[in-house]
């Protein structure tokens, strides 16, 4: 069905004749309080776009090229991507990032996409922000030490999460045969993966005689430490997990695990159109500043209109393609297209709807800088407000109001 065909039908009906896409029917479409927008309201002669363009790039953004006529007002850009972020490649792996300085709307969190080959090590380090991550490929061994001196070592695979509280020191290493790839979200918009406190940096910038006193051993022991940091380096693949765990077990285990199997968790919503899997501090206890959901939407289906009262939403698009429209006061409404590897962002309490526009499952991970996941669904609100009151607002039949789903399905069929 052609987009907005229902509006078109209504407008044509109102006009009483088949006045096609001309400015004559403008008032019938969208934006009644402003000059009508959108190609459907325009003289086709004004729609041509003959200017210089990069077709490969332009074709990725049909909703920017020709926004739906219901889009209105200015809105901060909520599309970004790892696809065009420069990689820092070192022996052992690579990383690229999108921080607030690359993506202005993203002031709550920043994102890093990293790959470590088999044996590749992300150097032992720590940083100001807390670190949440989702594994997208392969296997990785993580190590972390808590503030009570208790160590945690674990192997993670695709769909698994880790969370390191702010300042807790940690390392990451790709395991054979494929290594690993993952996306990190820091709970500060300006935290950079290139601005972390590195083990090698500290030692190289402490006088050897002070190192000798600190560790209670001869300065000579430090004669071969690297003078440049490692950041990512090619290491030897580690031995069995149990051996690494046993080697650090002296102080006992931390109270709660620093990893969580989100991809294998029971969905909080599931129907024929898709599913939502969720992890916040109620299930992933250590994750006190980040809640997250993996959302799977079948072709043609939509993630229903909703908002989040307590946090911005940062999205990493894992597979498939889709279109998201974000709504704000003003009114403001804007639509953008997303593909795998892209990043979306929705400010706290802004309404949004996501449609799978592809032929395969759409999957993205939504990340919120908050302890407890919260969502308000439009169907839930309208089905839990006295029906006659809703009917008066929307000028709809009472019988139709009563057909609105009452159980907040999360995903609706196409």
* 193 is an active site residue: yes
Binding mask 302-321 vs Mn ion (x if CB under 5 A, - otherwise)? -----------x--------
**Nearer of residues 117 and 165 to Mn ion, judged by Cβ:** 165
CB nearer to Mn ion: pick between 29 and 182: 182
Task: Exactly one of 96, 115, 141, 170 is catalytic; name it.
Answer: 170
Q: How far is the CB of 131 from Mn ion (least distance, A)?
A: 5
Annotated active-site residue 131? The verdict is yes
212 or 378: CB nearest Mn ion:
378
- Which residue of the set 122, 141, 306, 308 is catalytic? 122
Given the complex with Mn ion, which of 131 and 201 has the nearer CB atom?
A: 131
Based on the residue annotation, tell me whether 125 is a catalytic residue of this protein: yes
**Can you give the chain as a three-state secondary structure string?**
CCCCHHHHHHHHHHHCCCCCCCHHHHHHCCCCCCCCCCHHHCCHHHCCCCCCCCHHHHCCCHHHHCCCCCCECCCCCCEEECCCCCCEEECCEEEEEECCCCCCCCCCCEEEEEEECCCEEEEEEECCCCEEEEEEEEEEEEEEECCCCCEEEEEEECCCEEEECCCCCEEEEECCCCCEEEEEEECCCCCCCCCCEEHHHHHHCCCHHHHHHHHCCCHHHHCCCCCCCCCEEECCCCCCHHHHHHHCHHHCCCCCCCEECCCCCCCCEEECCEEEEEECCCCCCCCCCCEEEEEEECCCCEEEEEECCCCCEEEEEEECEEEEEEEECCCEEEEEEEECCEEEEECCCCEEEEEECCCCCEEEEEEECCCCCCCEEHHHHHHCCCHHHHHHHHCCCHHHHCCCCCCCCCEECC
Please, what is the minimum distance in Å from the beta carbon of residue 107 to Mn ion?
18
Candidate list 37, 123, 131, 304, residue with the active-site label: 131
Q: Cβ 312 to Mn ion, closest distance in Å?
A: 10
> Catalytic site residue 122?
yes
Q: Does 131 bind Mn ion (CB under 5 A)?
A: yes
Cβ 293 to Mn ion shortest distance, Å = 8
Q: Which is nearer to Mn ion, 71 or 375 (CB)?
A: 375
Among the listed residues 96, 115, 125, 308, the single catalytic one is: 125
- Of 35-43, 73-81, 124-132, 258-266: span binding Mn ion (CB under 5 A): 124-132
Contact positions vs Mn ion (CB under 5 A):
131, 313
What are the catalytic residues? 122, 125, 127, 131, 170, 193
């Amino acid at each position: 069905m052609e987009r907005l065909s229902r509006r078109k039908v209504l407008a044509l009906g109102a006009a009483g004749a088949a006045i096609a896409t001309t400015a004559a029917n403008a008032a019938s479409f969208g934006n009644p309080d402003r000059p009508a927008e959108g190609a459907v309201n325009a003289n086709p002669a004004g729609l041509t776009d003959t200017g210089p363009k990069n077709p490969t790039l332009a074709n990725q953004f049909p909703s920017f090229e020709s926004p739906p006529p219901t889009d209105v007002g200015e809105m901060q850009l909520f599309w970004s991507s790892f696809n065009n972020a420069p990689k820092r490649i070192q022996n052992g792996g690579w990383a690229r990032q999108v921080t607030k300085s690359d993506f202005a709307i993203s002031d709550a969190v920043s994102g890093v996409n990293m790959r470590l080959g088999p044996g590749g090590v992300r150097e032992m380090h720590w940083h100001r922000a807390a670190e949440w991550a989702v594994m997208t490929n392969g296997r990785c061994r993580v190590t972390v030490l808590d503030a009570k001196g208790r160590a945690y070592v674990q192997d993670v695979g695709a769909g698994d999460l880790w969370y390191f509280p702010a300042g807790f020191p940690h390392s990451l290493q790709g395991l054979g045969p494929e290594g690993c790839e993952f996306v990190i979200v820091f709970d500060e918009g300006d935290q950079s993966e290139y601005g972390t406190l590195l083990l090698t940096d500290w030692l190289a910038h402490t006088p050897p005689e002070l190192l000798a006193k600190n560790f209670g051993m001869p300065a000579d022991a430090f004669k071969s430490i690297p003078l440049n940091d490692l950041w990512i380096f090619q290491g030897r693949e580690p031995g069995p997990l149990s051996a690494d765990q046993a080697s650090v077990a002296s102080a006992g285990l931390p109270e709660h695990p620093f990893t969580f199997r989100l991809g294998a968790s029971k969905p909080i919503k599931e129907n024929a159109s898709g599913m939502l899997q969720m992890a916040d501090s109620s299930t992933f206890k250590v994750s006190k500043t980040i809640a997250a959901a993996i959302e799977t939407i079948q072709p043609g289906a939509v993630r229903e209109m909703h908002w989040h009262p307590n946090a911005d939403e940062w999205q990493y698009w894992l597979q498939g393609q889709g279109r998201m429209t974000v709504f704000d006061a003003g009114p403001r409404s804007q639509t953008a297209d997303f593909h795998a590897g892209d990043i979306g962002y929705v400010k706290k309490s802004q309404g949004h709807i996501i449609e799978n526009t592809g032929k395969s499952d759409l999957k993205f991970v939504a990340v919120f800088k908050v302890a407890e996941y919260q969502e308000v669904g439009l169907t839930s609100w309208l089905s839990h407000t006295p029906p006659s009151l809703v009917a008066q607002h929307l000028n709809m039949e009472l019988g139709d109001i009563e057909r609105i789903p009452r159980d907040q399905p999360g995903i609706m069929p196409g």
